Chains A and B, each alone.
Chain A
Amino acid sequence: MDHPLTPTDADQQLPALEVRALSMEFNVSHGRGHHAVRAVNGLSFVAAHGQVTALLGPNGAGKTTTLECAQGLLKPTGGTVRLLGEDPWNAGPLLRSRAGVMLQDGGLPQSARPGEFLRHVSSMYRQPADMSGLMDRLGIHSFARTPLRRLSGGQRQRVALAAALAGNPEIVFLDEPSAGLDPQSRTVVFELIAQLREQGTAVVLTTHLLDDAQRLADHVVIVARGTVRASGTVAELIAGDDGGRPGALRIGLTAGQRRAWESAPPVSSGRSTSESEEPPTGVSSFGRSIGLNVTLEDDRVTVTGDIRPEVLAHITSWLADTGELPTSMTLQPRTLEDVFLAIAGREIR
């Protein structure tokens, strides 16, 4: 098989991975027959060369299933996947040599030793990476001769990462790359991912850690219940449709204000479903129609949700009516966590 091993210019124009309207159903058998479970339901996203794309979502959102369809390990029941312009399910050796995979469960034989297993994986590629250098970089040499079953989760994770990079891939899939890593290994792995991006490699990773996504990702795809709920850069997601309103309003109340708030709060939580539904007597209905979330803990009030200018005006006017200044008052910038919880939070709790 003599194929050119360098990608053509046309290849570089295409996204490294294009997932369109992907669906994946599994037949789950139980006591009295089968029923279909839909793990992925019309999911679409694109991953570009030289970028880190993070699939972010709660456990069971369909992230791993999506990756397995993209890696050619599962045949989708609907939609299309183009990996480097080709169908991964029918991938030949050449396409597989251009994509590296790190599985969530490791994919490592327990009785093997890291050194020999990685050399074996390298032998599958015509132009393998410098495995010794990679092992050095990831600190694998110190346990290269210890059977994999005796290694810690973080050590195994590093071996799995080296296996994914054995063939100098143009696109690399990392399923939960920082799971089980100690802080030092995490830094090493993150540096390696940043370096891959600089080399033009497309990195597609899954995580449920917002911190990882915020630190690593150029492009974040928030997945919940098998579909994409939001996507964009971290900055875009934080800015949202409203240009980046604050994530939270925190107010420290005086003792008097606290008593007043407890007896008749000026704002209330929740989203009213019908106009006729009246709040309890004395409680303002302000906030209900826009779905604010209000908590009072000791003398601190926290308001999250869609904090519009009128929300601030309403609350400050109430504070003014008490005749006292609050002890403190801050508007906190929105974080990726606020965005994530606003999108996925209601469904996971």
Chain B
Amino acid sequence: MPRRVASQTKYEALTMLRNGEQLLLLVILPVIALVALTKMDLLDTVLLPGTTRIDYAVPGVLALSVISNAFSGQGIQTGFDRRYGVLRQLATTPLGRSGLVAGKLGAILLVLGFQCLLIGVVAMVLGWHPSLPGVLAALAVLVLGAVAFTGLGMLAAGTLRAEATLAVVNLLWVLLAVAGGTLAPAAALPEWVAPVVALLPSAALGDALRAVLVPGASAGLAGPLLILAVWAVAAWAATARWFRWS
């Protein structure tokens, strides 16, 4: 079982990284966002005393990378695999349905590792000085975020037509990035909408990463983690209930 899942993980990860559009979504757009948030004054209203733009940019861009990868990237790939019968074909091999899902999750974590490494290096070039405890806590949050967004991506891929999945996840990627509490905290949004946005998985992931990575952050970690965990459980429960293989 582990050997077959590892084989599927490698295959899925290579398929994602070799696809031009996926690469744009996975690394190029997040890196552009990182540079833009560092060089422009977009985040200046939320900066705490003693912090810099890059301290806020990195957690937001890491959250965006998770959405690019687990939700948009794997959602689109799985949607088309479903349309072309690839899911059913692989489910009839010894890999099976559970092995296939495990392989996809493994590929998402592998690609996420690659994204974090690249973003970390670019951020350090731009002057980021992370703390080791902060980075370790962030990795744990990233894994939880990846599980939640994989569930949401699978739900879209397993219930909508492939083209509809493509449209929905790309539209949501833009909305969540700009106004979903991903790149900038929900608190920075107008008062009437902020409490609602804070309940989105994107805001919960962004807020949790900011709580562990921004030096001297005052916002709590427990609330966002709880919201993210609820989304993860709900998304996977809905996927288990409604996912269609054909």
A contact set with B: CB distance below 8 Å: 1, 71-73, 91-94, 96-97, 99-101, 103, 105-112, 120-121, 123-126, 160, 163, 166-167
* CB pair B80 A107 closer than 8 Å: no
Contact of A101 among B7, B19, B89, B96 (CB under 8 A): B89
* CB pair A71 B4 closer than 8 Å: no
Contact of A105 among B11, B84, B93 (CB under 8 A): B84
- A96 nearest CB neighbor, chain B only: B94
Chain A residues with CB below 8 A from B80, complex form: 109-110
* CB pair B19 A72 closer than 8 Å: no
Contact of B7 among A97, A107, A120, A160 (CB under 8 A): A120
Asked if B125 is an interface residue, CB under 8 A from chain A, the answer is: no
- A100 nearest CB neighbor, chain B only: B92
- B92 nearest CB neighbor, chain A only: A101
- B246 nearest CB neighbor, chain A only: A73
Q: Tell me the bound Cα distance from A101 to B246 in angstroms.
A: 15
**Nearest-CB distance from B99 to chain A (Å)?**
8
* CB pair B4 A93 closer than 8 Å: yes
Given contacts A1-B1, A108-B86, A110-B80, contact A72 B7 (CB under 8 A): no
B contact set with A: CB distance below 8 Å: 1, 4, 7, 11, 15, 19, 80-81, 84-86, 88-96, 99, 245-246
**Nearest-CB distance from B215 to chain A (Å)?**
43
- B3 nearest CB neighbor, chain A only: A123
**Nearest-CB distance from B97 to chain A (Å)?**
9
Given contacts A105-B85, A110-B84, A120-B7, contact A73 B91 (CB under 8 A): yes
- A120 nearest CB neighbor, chain B only: B11
Chain A residues with CB below 8 A from B88, complex form: 73, 103, 107
Contact of A108 among B19, B84, B91, B94 (CB under 8 A): B84
- A125 nearest CB neighbor, chain B only: B94
**Nearest-CB distance from B22 to chain A (Å)?**
10
Chain B residues with CB below 8 A from A73, complex form: 88, 91-92, 245-246
Known contacts A103-B89, A109-B86; 9 further A-B pairs (Cβ under 8 A): A73-B245, A93-B1, A93-B95, A99-B92, A101-B92, A103-B85, A106-B85, A107-B88, A124-B93
Chain A residues with CB below 8 A from B99, complex form: 93
* CB pair B84 A109 closer than 8 Å: yes
CB-defined A-B contacts under 8 Å, sample of 8: A106-B85, A107-B85, A107-B88, A121-B89, A123-B7, A125-B93, A125-B94, A166-B93
Q: Tell me the bound Cα distance from A129 to B96 in angstroms.
A: 19
**Nearest-CB distance from B88 to chain A (Å)?**
6
* CB pair B96 A93 closer than 8 Å: yes
Chain A residues with CB below 8 A from B85, complex form: 103, 105-108
- A107 nearest CB neighbor, chain B only: B89
- B18 nearest CB neighbor, chain A only: A111
* CB pair A124 B7 closer than 8 Å: yes
Contact of B93 among A92, A112, A167 (CB under 8 A): A167
Q: Tell me the bound Cα distance from A91 to B99 in angstroms.
A: 13
* CB pair A112 B15 closer than 8 Å: yes
Chain A residues with CB below 8 A from B19, complex form: 111
Given contacts A103-B88, A107-B84, A107-B86, contact A124 B94 (CB under 8 A): yes
* CB pair A106 B84 closer than 8 Å: yes
Chain B residues with CB below 8 A from A126, complex form: 94
Chain B residues with CB below 8 A from A111, complex form: 15, 19
Chain B residues with CB below 8 A from A112, complex form: 15
Chain A residues with CB below 8 A from B86, complex form: 107-109
